[in-house]
């Protein structure tokens, strides 16, 4: 019985791997394909065209807008971009870190969330957490959304 289950799992896994090689779907099956998810065919086409799990315009705009910060890591399928500490030369006793969350495949304002962390250096050289103005995160989100809309318009031409 265990052998039959193992063979069945191996057969299913090899089928999924081979289906990922088809010319029709260069990026393999989606979770919705495998488990019968209810996403629309338009969303599936958009995801197949971009090759990532989130809105491509928001993704590119996030990378472009925060290009001045060092990139720590990026997950295009999960929609998370982590930036490492950035210190401006004019304010060497402050540093910032940012994380961008892209939450949808559609170009919408609620599909984007930016989180910023700030630290200041004390007199003894230690970094301590400091409050970030709420407007900072909103301004970054607005800048990313503006850039994403511009990219979308350029793509439509």
Per-residue model confidence as pLDDT tens digits over 95-123:
999 999 999 999 999 999 999 999 999 99
pLDDT > 90? residue 62: yes
* Environment class of 63 (CB within 10 Å of its CB; exposed 0-12, middle 13-18, buried 19+): middle
pLDDT the model gives residue 31: 41
Distance CA 51, CA 34 (A): 17
| Angle at alpha carbon of residue 21, lines to 17 and 23, rounded to 5° | 150
| Band (156; pLDDT cuts 50, 70, 90) | confident
Q: What is the arithmetic mean of pLDDT over 15-29? A: 42
The answer for 35, left when phi > 0, alpha when psi is -120 to 50, beta otherwise, is alpha
**Residue of 107, 112, 119 lying closest to 137 (CA atoms):** 112
| Angle at alpha carbon of residue 63, lines to 57 and 69, rounded to 5° | 160
Tens digit of pLDDT for each residue in 65-95?
A: 999 999 999 999 999 999 999 999 999 999 9
pLDDT > 90? residue 38: no
Q: What is the arithmetic mean of pLDDT over 40-49? A: 46
Q: Rounded to two decimals, what is the model's pTM?
A: 0.67
Residue with more model confidence, 132 or 1: 132
Q: State how far the alpha carbon of 24 is from the alpha carbons of 41, 47, 104, in Å.
A: 14, 13, 24
């Amino acid at each position: 019985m265990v052998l039959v289950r193992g063979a069945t799992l191996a057969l299913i896994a090899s089928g999924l791997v081979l289906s990922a090689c088809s010319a029709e779907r260069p990026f393999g099956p989606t979770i919705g394909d495998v488990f019968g998810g209810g996403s629309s065919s338009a969303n599936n086409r958009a995801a197949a065209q971009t090759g990532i799990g989130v809105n491509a315009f928001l993704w590119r705009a996030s990378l472009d807008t925060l290009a001045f910060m060092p990139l720590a890591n990026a997950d295009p399928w999960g929609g998370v971009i982590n930036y490492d500490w950035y210190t401006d030369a004019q304010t060497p006793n402050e540093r910032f870190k940012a994380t961008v969350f892209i939450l949808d495949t559609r170009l919408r304002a609620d599909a984007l969330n930016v989180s910023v962390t700030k630290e200041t250096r004390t007199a003894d050289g230690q970094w301590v957490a400091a409050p970030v103005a709420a407007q900072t995160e909103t301004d970054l989100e607005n800048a990313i959304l503006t850039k994403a809309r511009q990219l979308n318009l350029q793509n439509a031409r």
